[in-house]
Amino acid sequence: MTTSKIILVTGASSGIGAAVVRRLAADGHHVVAAARRTDRLDALAASSTGSVEVAGLDVADRAAVTALVERVRARHGRLDVLVANAGVMLLSRLDAGLVDEWDRMLDVNVRGLLNGIAAALPAFRDQGAGHLVSIASVGAHEVVPTSAVYSATKHAVWAITEGLRQEADPGLRVSTISPGVVESELAEHITDPHARDAMRTYRAASIPPEAIAATVAFAIDQPGDVDVNEVIVRPTRQRP
């Protein structure tokens, strides 16, 4: 049986984040769905079964992340789980020199995770329990041409989450979920034409975001003394 938890999901306005919100709310948890596009979040909350609260959030804004976690704690008395899912994948070769896109990936994928950890850890410490679920990627385990910076950010997600696991107080659970190719808007934001073309072939075999949501739900719903540390979920047909 699921015990209802207070769960904050970042990057909840589309793709994996939206599927995670729908799944966790349907499982009986109270979910705070955060992203910048609040119109999308309102629609998600309206179409979800269960308890979903909407919050406008840019994860790169440390003060805003801290304020949101404080608001959740003030309203609900606790924060049980942070699903750090917000991410961007702006693939290009390094010699294309798209330095602003490198910065954006570092800001959202790495600083966004760190901002979430900084905000959530005091709550987890006060409660003597908590759970960080990071959405990394197969890019946390491999590098291909055009993925250097994206893969670097996802290696960082892996390293930060594993470092937290090793340092954590008893009671804090830490999970890294690494998806392969999943249907979402992720590749639509790529501006480099070569990387975009290469992605069309690479992303031909994909799985729905609900497959990742099911993995997140599995990790969260384990008993408190069971910590699902790392899962890679690829389409069966995905190579490499």
Give me the active site residues, please: 150
Q: Does residue 89 bind ligand NDP (CB under 6 A)?
A: yes
Near ligand NDP by CB under 6 A, which window of 15-23, 114-122, 125-133, 162-170?
Answer: 15-23
Q: Which of residues 138-177 bind ligand NDP (CB under 6 A)?
A: none
Near ligand NDP by CB under 6 A, which window of 57-65, 72-80, 163-171, 221-229?
Answer: 57-65
Residues in contact with ligand NDP, shown as a per-residue x/- string from 101 to 140 under the rule CB under 6 A: -------x--------------------------x-x---
Longest dimension (CA), the chain: 52
Q: State the Cα angle at 22 between 18 and 25, rounded to 5°.
A: 135
Alpha carbon distance 212, 96 (integer Å)? 32
* 28 φψ region: left (φ > 0), alpha (ψ -120 to 50), beta (else): left
Q: Does residue 186 bind ligand NDP (CB under 6 A)?
A: yes
Alpha carbon distance 140, 158 (integer Å)? 6
Looking at this protein, which amino acid is placed at residue 112? G
**Closest CB to ligand NDP among residues 76, 203:** 203
3-state secondary structure 111-176: HHHHHHHHHHHHHHHHHCCEEEEEECCHHHCCCCCCCHHHHHHHHHHHHHHHHHHHHCCCCEEEEE
Q: Does residue 32 bind ligand NDP (CB under 6 A)?
A: no
Q: Does residue 9 bind ligand NDP (CB under 6 A)?
A: no
Q: Which positions touch ligand NDP (CB under 6 A)?
A: 10-17, 35-37, 57-60, 85-89, 108, 135, 137, 179, 181-182, 184-186
